[in-house]
Amino acid sequence: TLVDGAIIKGIVKNLTDYGAFLDLGGIDGLLHITDMSWKRFNHPSEVVEIGQELEVRVLKFDKEKSRVSLGLKQLGEDPWKDIARRQPVGSRIFGRVTNITDYGCFVEIEEGIEGLVHVSEIDWTNKNINPAKVVQPGDEVEVAILDIEEDKRRISLGMKQCKPNPWDAFASSHEKGDIVSGKIKSITDFGIFIGLDGGIDGLVHLSDISWMEADDVAIRKYKKGDTVEAMLLVVDSERERISLGIKQLEQDPFGSYVATHPKGSIVKGIIKEVSDKAAVVELEDGVLGQVKAADVAKDRTNDVSEVLKVGDEVEAKFVGMDRRNKMLTLSIKAKEFDEMNKVLKDYKDASAGTTSFGDLLKEKMDK
C-alpha cells in the first residue's frame, strides 16, 4: 500500500516545529508542516495532536531509505484553483482576520485562502495607520479584491475600497474657484496643509501664499491650528491631491498695476532702498520698481546713492519687468530723454512762429 498517491491511515506519534511523524504500522512517515493544511497556521499542534488517527496521502515513498513523505491537505482540492473565477478582481466579500502585522493584516476569504490587506489599503486618509488599532484576529471585515497572483498564491485586498472615497466625494461637491476653510494641520518647507471635509488635506504651496511677499516671509505668519480660508485651485481625486491658494483670495497687485500702467508709462513712487548700483522704488499697492545706475541720469552715475536718497519721490518711465520676481524696470533717464524729444518736436512744430527753443525748454522745465 505504500505507493505514491495512495491514501493510508496512521497515528500521530510525535510533533516537531517542522511537522508530525505518523506511525504507519512498522514504518514512520513525515507529515511536513507545509503539507498539513491549505490554511495559514504557526505550529503543527494547531492542526493535529499526538495519538490522533489520520487519513493521509503518500506523496513520496523512498524504499531504499525507508522514508515516507505524507500529505494531509492533498486529500482535498487545492482551493487556489480557479480562485480568480470565483473571486474576480473588483468584487467585495466578507472574510475573517487571521493575522496582524506591522505592514497590514491577513484575511481569510475562503477555507484555506488568505489575502493581505496592506496598511496603505486600510484607510483612505491615514496611510500609516496601525492595523492593530483597526482590527483584531477573528474580526469579520468586508474587503475588496484588488489583485490575484494565482501562481504565487497571493491575493491583495483592500478595506478602504468598501467605504466612500472622501477624495471623490470632495471632488463631486466642490469646483475650482470655491472658497474653503479649515485648520492648519502642518507646515512644511514647501507649504501649508489644511484639513478639509472628509478628513482629507489640501496643500497651499509656498508660491500660493502671497502675491508680493517672499515665500519664507509669508509662511511665517501662519501656525499650526490656525483657521484659514483658501481658494480651491486643483482637485485630483485619482492622485489624492488638492491644491489650494491663499493669495488667490485677492487680486494680484502686480498684475493690476501693470494692467493700468502699460509699458512706456510714466510712474511715480518713493525711494525705498538705495545701493551704489541701483535704487528700489515703491509704487502703488506695494508694487516695486528698480532703477539701475545706468538709468538714473543722462550723465554716467557710478554711485546711485550719491544721486538718490531713501524717501525721495521720483518719476520714471516703465521700460520693462521681471514677472517672476514681480519687479518693474524703471528709467529716470528715459523719462528725461522723452521729455527732451517732445520739446524738440514742439520746437520744430512751432519753428514757423516766433517761439524760440530756449522758451520751449524753459516752459517744459518749469512744469
Distance separating alpha carbons of residues 328 and 318, to the nearest angstrom: 7
In a domain, 355, yes or no: no
| Residue 158 and residue 224 share a domain | no
Question: What mean pLDDT is predicted for residues 62-83?
Answer: 89
- pLDDT score recorded for residue 70: 95
| Residue 67 and residue 99 share a domain | no
- pLDDT score recorded for residue 45: 93
Q: Is pLDDT larger for residue 2 or for residue 200? A: 200
| Residue 196 and residue 156 share a domain | no
| Residue 117 and residue 63 share a domain | no
Last residue of a domain, one of 29, 54, 75: 75
Question: What mean pLDDT is predicted for residues 264-275?
Answer: 93
| Residue 121 and residue 92 share a domain | yes
In a domain, 332, yes or no: yes
Segment among 15-29, 262-276, 289-303 with least mean pLDDT: 289-303
Last residue of a domain, one of 59, 75, 91: 75
Q: Please give the tally of structural domains in the chain.
A: 4
| Residue 269 and residue 240 share a domain | no
Distance separating alpha carbons of residues 39 and 134, to the nearest angstrom: 23
Neighbours of 66 (CB within 10 A): 12
In a domain, 144, yes or no: yes
Who's near 55: CB < 8 A, 6+ residues apart?
Answer: 7, 8, 9, 75
Distance separating alpha carbons of residues 32 and 131, to the nearest angstrom: 31
In a domain, 345, yes or no: no
Question: Could you report how far apart the first and last alpha carbons of the chain are, in Å?
Answer: 124
- pLDDT score recorded for residue 359: 59
Neighbours of 139 (CB within 10 A): 14
- Tell me, what CATH number does 105's domain have? 2.40.50.140
Segment among 97-106, 280-289, 355-364 with least mean pLDDT: 355-364
Confidence class for position 289, pLDDT limits 50, 70, 90: very high
Give the pTM.
0.62
Question: What mean pLDDT is predicted for residues 62-67?
Answer: 87
Nearest to 167 by CA among 128, 210, 198, 130: 198
pLDDT at 299 > cutoff 90: no
- pLDDT score recorded for residue 362: 56
Segment among 118-132, 236-250, 335-349 with least mean pLDDT: 335-349
Nearest to 320 by CA among 342, 289, 274: 289
Neighbours of 8 (CB within 10 A): 18
| Residue 235 and residue 196 share a domain | yes
Question: What mean pLDDT is predicted for residues 171-196?
Answer: 93
- pLDDT score recorded for residue 358: 58
In a domain, 70, yes or no: yes
Q: Is pLDDT larger for residue 294 or for residue 349? A: 294
In a domain, 1, yes or no: no
In a domain, 342, yes or no: no
| Residue 267 and residue 241 share a domain | no
| Residue 243 and residue 296 share a domain | no
- pLDDT score recorded for residue 269: 93
Q: Kindly state the helix (H) or strand (E) to which residue 254 belongs, with its residue range.
A: helix 253-260
In a domain, 98, yes or no: yes
Last residue of a domain, one of 133, 162, 191: 162
What would the grid cell of residue 264 be? 512706456
Q: Is pLDDT larger for residue 345 or for residue 155? A: 155
Q: Is pLDDT larger for residue 227 or for residue 66? A: 227
pLDDT at 13 > cutoff 80: yes
Distance separating alpha carbons of residues 80 and 154, to the nearest angstrom: 9
Confidence class for position 352, pLDDT limits 50, 70, 90: low
**E strands, the chain, in order:** 7-16, 19-23, 28-32, 53-62, 67-71, 92-101, 104-110, 113-118, 140-149, 154-158, 179-188, 191-195, 201-205, 227-236, 241-245, 266-274, 278-282, 288-292, 313-322, 327-331
Question: What mean pLDDT is predicted for residues 71-92?
Answer: 90
- pLDDT score recorded for residue 353: 53
- pLDDT score recorded for residue 255: 85
Domain that holds residue 242: 180-249
Instruction: Give me the helix-helix angle, 332-349 and 357-366, nearest 10°.
Output: 140
